[in-house]
Chain A
Amino acid sequence: MDLLIKALSDLWPVWFALAGVFIISWPTRQYTGLYGKLYENPIGLLGLYICLFWIFAAIFAGVISDIDPEAQSVALRKKGPGTPAADGLISILGGDVAGRDIFSRLFYGARVVIPISVTATALAFVVGIVAGLPAGYFGRKTDAVLSFLANAILAFPVILLFILIVLIARDGPLIPTLLGVLGFAPVAFVVVAAFGLYGKAGRTGLLLATLLLPVAIVLAWILGSLFWLLGWVVMAAWAAFFVTRVMNCGDRKLAILTIVLVPVLGFIYSRVAFSLPDLGLIAPIVAGMFGEAGSQSFNEIEGMVNNLFIPRDAALNVFIAVCFASAPGIFRLVRGLTLDTKERDYVAAAQTRGENTWYIMIFEILPNVRGPLIVDAALRIGYTIILLGTLGFFGLGLEPTSPDWGTMINIGRGGARSFPHMVIPPAFALMSLVLGINMLADGLREMSLKD
């Protein structure tokens, strides 16, 4: 009982944050659209607050837990809840096999689980949308090829896919290649959207040049790893092509837009795909100009940037595996919705106006199918969390020291029948978060049906 009170009081920042959200949201619920409507649906509201609880728990993990989640102490090894730890602290949920505090690992685990599952689902969604829109809109051969690919991946059992990806991809070139392919989807999406808005006709040259950027980056990376000057040659050739296209496009607004867009996209793409900001092209020049000290400080800066937004290597494998498992399903959903929507009057009106195809797909069809997509996204995040846990359960996911819930369950399950305190907390954490997400999705679905 004392422990329960201590646990609840340790969570004070979360309660304060939840109360804050509620105090702001309740009076303004009439003005916040779909979000405000959730406050009329008890199940959806409960789901929302369970999700918010875990999000705040992840944010405040450092404040909530006073024991270092990675520290191992003999005093805590396999000990039950309430065991005193070093420095007069009390371990609320006890320690695991390696003597690490389970209570702090639980909340640091949320920090690992939530970002990976959300970003992986987001990438899978972009891939599914980028492939699904043209498949549904153009039909015929585009549809046949893309649908065959999606069905082939779907026919493959998820678990075998995971094992193969993780085992084959270890230290191979497969992961960067796959990331390069999948990372192409967000770039293509943004570029196509921009051209849908601005490029009414005759801008295909510039479109081609922009779409070739990821290809050039991959080529530069491969050739640059042989000899760094070759990488520069590739990039220079692409830049020359790009500049001529910009000169010839004859639309100042579009030219400025692409010139702003391209470096940003290139940077994001090379970071997502290769976790390198410079593709290994800048480092040799820095070393040549400033010598040893220069390259050392360059490496430090690069390391800092890398830690900012690139998941660690093991997380990348998981990322790819999850993307592969989810993207075909999203593709089928988007394709079906597009097939259904493209016969509507507003699409026909846009076609009659002579709008370009990409504009119709992204600005006419996509916003009109957002309802089912939002609900599906919520459900998929829950499913992704379950998949992450599955990977952890098989020891295929993140490194064993990682505090994510699947790995915790895997480490604890050997002695689960003698020391249930090691597996029950992460099990309940995972279950509650997935339950919250499912309830939120259910609430959203009911809300969108009422409209």
Chain B
Amino acid sequence: MLAFAFRRILLAFVTILVLTATIFTLINTNQNTLRAIAINELGPQTPAEDLDSWVADNVLTKPLVVRYGEWLSGFVVGDWGESAVFRRHIFGYDPDAGRNKWGVINERLYATGILAFWVFLIMVPVALLIGILAGVREGSLRDRSLSTLSIMTTATPEYISGILFMVALASRKYHIFHYIPDIPTWISTGQMAYLDDFYFKAVANMRNGISFEDLFLPVLTMVVYGVGYIARMTRASMAEVMSSQYVRTAILKGLPRGTVIRRHALRNALIAPFTVIMLQFPWMLTGVVIVEVMFAYKGFGQALFVASTNMDFNMIMACSIVSVLVVLLTQLISDLGYVLLNPRLRLR
């Protein structure tokens, strides 16, 4: 068990090294991206020759390997550099930094953490309940309708349900929820450099903490897309357990149905959904970007989007590492949890 965990952690470190090295190389050997980095410093109207000479003087000063090593050593000691778009340090607590003492990543991860907390708090119980109710009696009318419902929610990605909720609940005429600034329709990657200002204004209303109104639509949107998948997995697992030998034995012994479901079926049926729920975190990362961009929620996903469309190099590296860490950590927890929860694997 310990050896297994150790091996997995070692592999995770290798993965992070390989991935960061790949991104680092790709960005640093491509003229487009290097120019985009230069634009962040020199402004959008700078001619291409000036951009290239800036790149030659400031970026391409040492061999690629040396620069990667420097970045890596800085990263390990917690010096993640300055963000070109957000104009402040990326990670950690800096008492001399004026108004924003915490780094961008710290602040944004906190906001996204709150969002994710509410999403999971609502999504997991609802999904498990739907799945169990549907799986207890396979093929019944209740099963059919709940299954169709969960298929429907998995067919509605965030960018669709979000817009439908926006139209229904926050339309300009009859809105229940507060005014979400319109996102310009002309967002395209070429024009992103001009957009920083817009985003700062759009999220300015979140300066004084995160309110119920900030959270309601994003949470609702993410829950709707995520709930169906977990519910379907739970249903499949529950249906399998209900048709197993030991459940049939328990029923034939004359135990009440409720006891059979609670004591014999449920525990075994919840092993598979646990893995699925843990693996929902990687999915969350994509969903969070869409939802945060759509509702102008000042979180990690929106920072990732703004940073990568503006080629904010340090921020892209920081965001990639954080997201890869989240994915690998959840994979590790799900694997270890699976071994712990499943009595047949625990004995080994």
Q: Which residues of A contact B (CB under 8 A)?
A: 43, 97, 148, 151-152, 154-160, 163-164, 166-168, 170-172, 174, 382, 386, 389-390, 393-396, 400, 406, 409-418, 420, 423-424, 427, 430-431, 434-435, 438-439, 442
What separation, in Å, do the CA atoms of A159 and B292 have in the docked complex? 13
Once A411-B185, A416-B163, A424-B164 are accepted as A-B contacts, the answer to whether A158 and B26 lie under 8 Å apart by CB is: no
Closest approach, in angstroms, between the C-beta of B298 and any C-beta of chain A? 18
What separation, in Å, do the CA atoms of A414 and B184 have in the docked complex? 6
> Which residues of B lie under 8 Å from residue A97 when comparing CB positions?
185
Q: Is the CB of A395 within 8 A of B172?
A: no
> Which residues of A lie under 8 Å from residue B268 when comparing CB positions?
none
Closest approach, in angstroms, between the C-beta of B210 and any C-beta of chain A? 22
> Which residues of A lie under 8 Å from residue B59 when comparing CB positions?
none
Q: Is the CB of B308 within 8 A of A427?
A: no
What separation, in Å, do the CA atoms of A390 and B288 have in the docked complex? 12
Please, could you name 25 A-B residue pairs with CB atoms under 8 Å apart, sorted by A? Answer: A152-B15, A155-B15, A155-B19, A155-B324, A160-B320, A164-B26, A167-B309, A168-B27, A168-B30, A386-B157, A389-B159, A393-B159, A394-B187, A395-B188, A406-B159, A409-B163, A410-B187, A420-B171, A423-B167, A424-B163, A424-B164, A435-B151, A435-B152, A435-B155, A438-B151
What separation, in Å, do the CA atoms of A160 and B185 have in the docked complex? 21
What separation, in Å, do the CA atoms of A382 and B324 have in the docked complex? 25
B241 at the interface (CB under 8 A from A): no
Q: Which residues of B contact A (CB under 8 A)?
A: 11, 14-15, 18-19, 23, 26-27, 30-33, 36, 144, 147-148, 151-152, 154-157, 159-160, 163-164, 166-167, 170-172, 175, 182-185, 187-189, 282, 285-286, 289-290, 293-294, 301, 304-305, 308-309, 311, 316, 319-320, 323-324, 327-328, 331
What separation, in Å, do the CA atoms of A393 and B291 have in the docked complex? 11
> Which residues of B lie under 8 Å from residue A154 when comparing CB positions?
282, 327
Q: Is the CB of A396 within 8 A of B189?
A: yes
Q: Is the CB of A394 within 8 A of B26?
A: no
Q: Is the CB of B185 within 8 A of A159?
A: no
Q: Is the CB of B289 within 8 A of A159?
A: yes
Once A395-B189, A410-B187, A442-B151 are accepted as A-B contacts, the answer to whether A423 and B163 lie under 8 Å apart by CB is: yes
Q: Is the CB of B294 within 8 A of A413?
A: yes
Q: Is the CB of B327 within 8 A of A157?
A: yes
Q: Is the CB of A159 within 8 A of B18?
A: no
Chain A: CB-nearest residue to B27: A168
Closest approach, in angstroms, between the C-beta of B219 and any C-beta of chain A? 19
Q: Is the CB of B185 within 8 A of A414?
A: yes
In this complex, which of B11, B185, B282 has the most chain A Cβ atoms within 10 angstroms of its Cβ?
A: B185
> Which residues of B lie under 8 Å from residue A439 when comparing CB positions?
148, 151
Given B157, B166, B311, which contacts A389 in the complex, CB threshold below 8 Å?
B157
Given B155, B167, B183, B327, which contacts A382 in the complex, CB threshold below 8 Å?
B155
Q: Is the CB of B290 within 8 A of A393?
A: yes
Q: Is the CB of B324 within 8 A of A413?
A: no
Once A167-B309, A424-B167 are accepted as A-B contacts, the answer to whether A157 and B323 lie under 8 Å apart by CB is: yes
Closest approach, in angstroms, between the C-beta of A28 and any C-beta of chain B? 28
Q: Is the CB of A166 within 8 A of B189?
A: yes
> Which residues of A lie under 8 Å from residue B170 when comparing CB positions?
417
Once A148-B11, A164-B23 are accepted as A-B contacts, the answer to whether A417 and B167 lie under 8 Å apart by CB is: yes
Given A156, A423, A431, which contacts B156 in the complex, CB threshold below 8 Å?
A431
Q: Is the CB of A157 within 8 A of B164?
A: no
What separation, in Å, do the CA atoms of A291 and B154 have in the docked complex? 59
Chain B: CB-nearest residue to A96: B185
Closest approach, in angstroms, between the C-beta of A430 and any C-beta of chain B? 6
Closest approach, in angstroms, between the C-beta of B301 and any C-beta of chain A? 8
Q: Is the CB of A413 within 8 A of B15?
A: no
Once A157-B286, A159-B286, A163-B308 are accepted as A-B contacts, the answer to whether A171 and B32 lie under 8 Å apart by CB is: yes
Q: Beyond A160-B308, A431-B156, A439-B151: 15 further Cβ-contacts under 8 Å?
A: A43-B144, A159-B289, A160-B319, A160-B320, A163-B308, A164-B308, A168-B32, A174-B30, A394-B187, A413-B183, A413-B294, A420-B171, A423-B163, A423-B167, A438-B151
> Which residues of B lie under 8 Å from residue A168 when comparing CB positions?
26-27, 30, 32-33
What separation, in Å, do the CA atoms of A152 and B32 have in the docked complex? 25
Q: Is the CB of A155 within 8 A of B152?
A: no
Given B157, B187, B188, B328, which contacts A390 in the complex, CB threshold below 8 Å?
B157
> Which residues of B lie under 8 Å from residue A423 when comparing CB positions?
163, 167
> Which residues of B lie under 8 Å from residue A416 when comparing CB positions?
163, 166-167
Q: Is the CB of A170 within 8 A of B182?
A: no
> Which residues of B lie under 8 Å from residue A164 when comparing CB positions?
23, 26, 308, 316
In this complex, which of A155, A389, A390, A412 has the most chain B Cβ atoms within 10 angstroms of its Cβ?
A: A155
Q: Is the CB of A172 within 8 A of B30?
A: yes
Closest approach, in angstroms, between the C-beta of B199 and any C-beta of chain A? 14
Once A157-B282, A164-B23, A168-B30 are accepted as A-B contacts, the answer to whether A413 and B163 lie under 8 Å apart by CB is: yes
What separation, in Å, do the CA atoms of A418 and B316 have in the docked complex? 35
Q: Is the CB of A172 within 8 A of B185?
A: no
What separation, in Å, do the CA atoms of A251 and B329 have in the docked complex? 54
Chain A: CB-nearest residue to B12: A155
In this complex, which of B15, B166, B171, B282 has the most chain A Cβ atoms within 10 angstroms of its Cβ?
A: B15
The 4 A-B residue pairs whose C-beta atoms are closest, nearest first, are A414-B185, A435-B155, A434-B155, A157-B285
> Which residues of B lie under 8 Å from residue A386 when comparing CB positions?
157
What separation, in Å, do the CA atoms of A174 and B25 have in the docked complex? 12
In this complex, which of A159, A415, A434 has the most chain B Cβ atoms within 10 angstroms of its Cβ?
A: A159
What separation, in Å, do the CA atoms of A167 and B192 have in the docked complex? 12
What separation, in Å, do the CA atoms of A430 and B23 have in the docked complex? 32
Closest approach, in angstroms, between the C-beta of B38 and any C-beta of chain A? 15
Chain A: CB-nearest residue to B228: A438
What separation, in Å, do the CA atoms of A211 and B273 have in the docked complex? 43
Given A152, A160, A394, A420, which contacts B323 in the complex, CB threshold below 8 Å?
A160
Q: Is the CB of B182 within 8 A of A414?
A: yes
Closest approach, in angstroms, between the C-beta of B244 and any C-beta of chain A? 16
> Which residues of A lie under 8 Å from residue B328 when comparing CB positions?
155
> Which residues of B lie under 8 Å from residue A424 when comparing CB positions?
163-164, 167
